[in-house]
Amino acid sequence: MNIVRSLIFLTFFLLLPVTLAAEQTEPEPTRPGQDILWMHLEEGLDTARLAYVEKKDNEFSRRIIIRVLRFDTDRFDFRLFSSRWENLGVPTMREWAEKKNLVSAINASMYLKDGQTSTGYMRSGERINNGRIVSRYGAFFVAGPRESGLPRAAVLDRDTDDWQHLLPRYDIVVQNFRLMGPEGVQLWPENGPEHAIAAIAEDMNGRILFLHCPDPASVHDFVNALAAHAELNINSAMYVEGGSEASLLLSVPGIFRLWNGMTPASYMFSSRGDAIPLPNILGVVRR
């Protein structure tokens, strides 16, 4: 057995008990056509895992697994944190959660080479991370309405929602790529780059979904996987990050999980990116 095969075998062997222990607390992945098997974590918070098999040239290839956290906005609020406003350096996802006492967290957005500035518009109250509306980004996540009668959180589609009128009416605004067009229309090229994906969606009942695919996949296939699980009832969705930085955290009594994007190096050396500094995150707190 050569050294590469030996390392792969050792990595698999060392990770196996940890992986199995984690999976035992989660529902089995739901295949398209099945009722989604939701695991109830607490009032207003559920989790599920979705399975989808890619089909290339009429042949089945690999399986994609997407983890979903679903939040009822009657029970949970959303907070936007940026290292630019905190003077804390750039915390990891785990450090953000500990400092802010978060139930959950996900990437807020991709960021520029300066390591702090969001690639799209980002604001919390009067604090601005990036004040420029990016013309090619078609979605906004908004939360913290400034007046009664508005949803507590939503994902706005630039083509179908009156975003120019709505954005000033919310304390939190984050802009990024939209994942799909109206009625779930596929917008992404079939042979795009493959990487881990983190995303945020709103369902038809106004609940907010945090979505995470740890293994490399194209955004085209990720969108197809969501569409194949029609029971999600997705109304609109926004991409937030890709690659090893794509992260999702869950912290409820008795359960702490931190999932990161996997890369070839991650599989080889057992590194899941827990120590990656993340300048901008969306956190979840109980109401």
Residue-level pLDDT at 191: 87
Distance CA 226, CA 229 (A): 5
- Across the chain, mean pLDDT equals 88
Total tally of structural domains belonging to the chain: 1
Structural domain for 259, as ranges: 3-286
Whether the Cβ atoms of residue 185 and residue 172 lie closer than 8 Å to each other: no
Q: For residue range 105-148, what is the model confidence (pLDDT) as tens digits?
A: 999 999 999 999 999 999 999 999 999 999 999 999 999 999 99
Q: What is the 3-state secondary structure (H, E, C) of 107-139?
A: ECCCECCCCCCECCCEEECCEEEECCCCCCCCE
Residue-level pLDDT at 88: 76
Residue-level pLDDT at 189: 93
Distance CA 142, CA 156 (A): 8
Q: Which of 38, 50, 39 shows the shortest CA–CA distance to 217?
A: 50
Say how many C-beta atoms besides its own lie within 10 A of residue 42's C-beta: 13
Per-residue b or e along 181-197, where b marks 16 or more CB atoms closer than 10 Å to that residue's CB: eeebeeebeeeeeebbb
Please give the backbone phi and psi of residue 169, each rounded to the nearest 5 degrees, phi first.
-95, 5
164: left (phi over 0), alpha (psi -120 to 50) or beta: alpha
> Which residues contact residue 124 at a Cβ distance below 8 angstroms, ignoring those fewer than 6 apart?
79, 80, 81, 82, 85, 171, 172
Please give the backbone phi and psi of residue 90, each rounded to the nearest 5 degrees, phi first.
-120, 105
Tell the burial category of 9 from Cβ atoms under 10 Å away from its Cβ (0-12, 13-18, 19+).
Answer: exposed
Q: Which of 272, 265, 268, 270 shows the shortest CA–CA distance to 5?
A: 268
Whether the Cβ atoms of residue 172 and residue 78 lie closer than 8 Å to each other: yes
Q: Where are the alpha helices (DSSP H) in 112-263?
A: 163-166, 219-228
Lowest model confidence (mean pLDDT) among 10-14, 43-47, 219-223, 256-260: 10-14
Whether the Cβ atoms of residue 262 and residue 254 lie closer than 8 Å to each other: no
Q: Decide: helix, strand or coil at residue 10.
A: helix
Q: For residue range 65-111, what is the model confidence (pLDDT) as tens digits?
A: 999 999 999 999 999 999 999 987 999 999 999 999 999 999 999 99
Tell whether the model's pLDDT for residue 237 goes beyond 90: yes
Each as own residue / partner, the long-range contacts of residues 263-268 (CB below 8 Å, 24 or more positions apart, any chain) are 263/195, 263/196, 263/216, 267/8, 267/11, 268/7, 268/8, 268/11
Q: For residue range 6-54, what is the model confidence (pLDDT) as tens digits?
A: 443 334 333 433 333 344 457 789 999 999 999 999 999 999 999 999 7
